[in-house]
Amino acid sequence: MSDSSNVIITGCSSGFGLIFAKTLAGAGHRVFATMRDVAGKNAAVAAELTAWAEAEGRALSVLELDVTDDASVAAAIGAALEQAGAIDVLVNNAGVAGLGLLEGYTPDMLRRLFEVNVFGAHRVCRAVLPSMRARGRGLLAFVSSSMGRVVVPCVGAYAATKFALECLAETYAYELAPIGVEVSILEPGTHPTAIGANMAAWSPDDPERLAQDYGRGSELPGRIGGNIVAVLSAETPPDSQRVGDALLQVVSAPEGRRPRRVVIDELGGQGVEAINQAATAVQGLTITSLGLGDILGDDAAAD
């Protein structure tokens, strides 16, 4: 890739997505910042992004994209390809999170979480990959979470989607390596973003189950929630811009040398790093034992 890449990012109405859009565009990349409802509830942020790009002289366009809708995804990817000619980087960022006892989630609510966080990412990958395969190059970046590697009570529904996303991304990495398309996974810890403020809409929705006797377990949602609030309200909370800078480093890295995983977690990062190192070794042994060691490449050792 050249020094400037064509980048499409999902979920840019707030949080990491908004940071990613400005960080990459500010570094000289051409950015397609996508979000739902650009003419409705997200009209203000869409206008702000557009005005910022014009004032800064940056190549940033806002596109409508709902990761849960096939037609919306196809239209956005088609528009980006028509305008830029190629998509060099896809950043799968759109996501939602909930907090609460797992039994309190109806199957429908759990399915909705997976629809956004997992099926949505897969849907956008499928729309982008034909053009990347045709060119024999590209980068799929997935915004996972430290919760995609460790298990914590009361965030199990969200974490399950991130565990699934990790598997999806790594499978793509193996399958796309022979044609030159790379995969990188970002694993942020807790940071002050809108995903936390929106948790109530994606939390357990079965009050009858939540009313059952869980003993001391009934205290867990409050304790976990309190810990999250304490981190975010600290005098010096984790800096979300560090996640944006990490993505910029991945995008700017030489082709073939991009890391498989990048941990950005000031609190529990060492544990996640240890899991990643152990998993990389096990994956390498497993893939090699199947006679597929040639698809590992050097990036398997770059975690």
Annotated active-site positions, please?
158
Question: Which are the contacts of 120, defined by CB distance < 8 A and separation ≥ 6?
Answer: 10, 67, 68, 92, 94
Taken in order 124, 6, 258, 49, the sign of the CA dihedral is negative
**DSSP strand pairing (30-35 vs 60-64):** parallel
Break the chain down into helix, strand, coil percent, rounded to 5.
Answer: 55, 10, 30
Sequence-ordered alpha helix ranges (H) in the chain: 15-26, 43-56, 70-84, 107-114, 120-135, 156-176, 194-197, 207-210, 220-232, 241-252, 269-289
| Residue 83 to residue 61: CA distance in whole angstroms | 10
| Residue 231 to residue 240: CA distance in whole angstroms | 13
Of the candidates 172, 168, 94, which has an alpha carbon nearest to the alpha carbon of residue 139? 172
Structure tokens at 143: 């915004």
Of the candidates 126, 125, 140, which has an alpha carbon nearest to the alpha carbon of residue 180? 140
A 10 A CB-CB count for 257 gives 11
| Residue 252 to residue 24: CA distance in whole angstroms | 10
Specify whether the CB–CB gap between 87 and 141 falls below 8 A.
no
A 10 A CB-CB count for 291 gives 7
